[in-house]
Amino acid sequence: MALTGSKRCISLVVPCFNEGGSLDAFFFRLETTLNALTEYDYEILCIDDGSQDDTLTKLLCHAERNPCISVIELSRNFGKEAALTAGIDAAKGHAVIPMDADLQHPPELIDEMLSHWEAGSDVVLARRLSRDTDHSLQRLVTGWFYLLHNRISDCEIPRDVGDFRLMDRCVVDALKALPERRRFMKGLFAWVGFRQTVVEFEVESRHSGVSSFNTKKLWGLAIEGITSFSAVPLSVWVYAGVVISLVALVSGSWIIVKTLAFGVDVPGYASILVAVLFLGGVQLMGIGVLGAYIGRIYSESKQRPIYIVRNHHTCVKSGPAHEIPAHEIPAHAASDHSPARNKNTR
């Protein structure tokens, strides 16, 4: 289906990292769903986030077959948050739908999302009904993250809602206006607000391969989310210091009274050692939390681009390959402008 401009357009944003084994089945189901929606045009923006398998080759083959598919090739692996940002920046549709290529996000749900969008919702969230596909540690970390984040942050993240959602163009424009570079997309999606509706779906198992999003990365993402949208971890150490000071004051007063009443006891080195180690540990934890926030400030102050585009591959049936005009590249993105790398391959 070619973009004619006479219909409303849907942009599908698909970050890909080593998803070569899933792409054929993914495009079959996705295009079957989209081709049935005859009242819409569509574009599929696939972002190759430095894949090390045949993902890019397969994406280019599908882009050659279907001119509505374009491939944004990043210069290296920048992470899913950056890949999502690259796709959202490039999307031109009236509605934008980020989704994964591993088929855990069912393409068949798009029809229901569009119905809610046409009914007036600016954002249609896809909430998973269960986490049976995650192992027990991932479920534990995820549950504690939602509980803690929504308790200490002013911006509440909907539980069990990932990146799979439909966003109206006004929501996308609001996201693109946010200047920060350390991006926690789930938090940014929630922060911009707008009218929201929730649809539910059952998560399927990955079509192939193993997710690269392990427990370590999940933990790092949780820390990123908390430090991005709450300053409570900084202020909590003030209260910890007050409590420790009160305990020290009470203990010191008791020692003075006991000494005056019963004389001086033999000093206890064990208790002194425990007190020193405890206070040292508390101080190091406080410094560590402070360092996490300073690290974010340091990263933002350097103003490096969120991602670098090595190539934007498009396939046009007639005429030269399309290149993104320089004025269309967002301020937080960058492209490699060397002659050899800025040339489109399709």
Per-residue pLDDT of 315-329, as tens digits, reads 654 333 333 333 344
pLDDT of residue 212: 60
pLDDT of residue 325: 38
Per-residue pLDDT of 157-200, as tens digits, reads 788 788 888 999 999 999 888 888 888 888 888 888 888 898 88
Work out the average pLDDT over 198-216: 69
113, 92 contact by CB (below 8 A): no
Q: What is the share, in percent, of the chain residues with pLDDT greater than 70?
A: 76
Whole-prediction pTM: 0.70
Per-residue pLDDT of 33-71, as tens digits, reads 888 888 888 899 999 888 888 888 888 888 888 888 899
Position 285, amino acid:
M
pLDDT of residue 324: 37
| Orientation angle between helical segments 215-229 and 269-302, nearest 10 degrees | 80
Inform me whether the pLDDT recorded for 223 exceeds 90. no
Least confident of 6-15, 89-98, 181-190: 181-190
Work out the average pLDDT over 121-141: 76
Per-residue pLDDT of 67-80, as tens digits, reads 888 999 898 888 88
Q: What contacts 129, CB < 8 A, 6 or more positions away? A: 160, 200, 201, 202, 203
Calpha distance 221→216 (Å, rounded) = 9
Position 160, amino acid:
D
Strands across the sheet with 161-168, in order?
Answer: 196-201, 123-128, 161-168, 95-98, 8-16, 40-48, 69-74, 307-313, 333-335
pLDDT of residue 158: 81
pLDDT of residue 333: 54
Residue identified by tokens 């944004």 is 72
pLDDT of residue 166: 92
For the chain, the structural domain boundaries read 8-139+155-216+304-335, 232-302
Fold of 8-139+155-216+304-335: Spore Coat Polysaccharide Biosynthesis Protein SpsA; Chain A (3.90.550)
CB atoms inside a 10 Å sphere around CB 103: 21
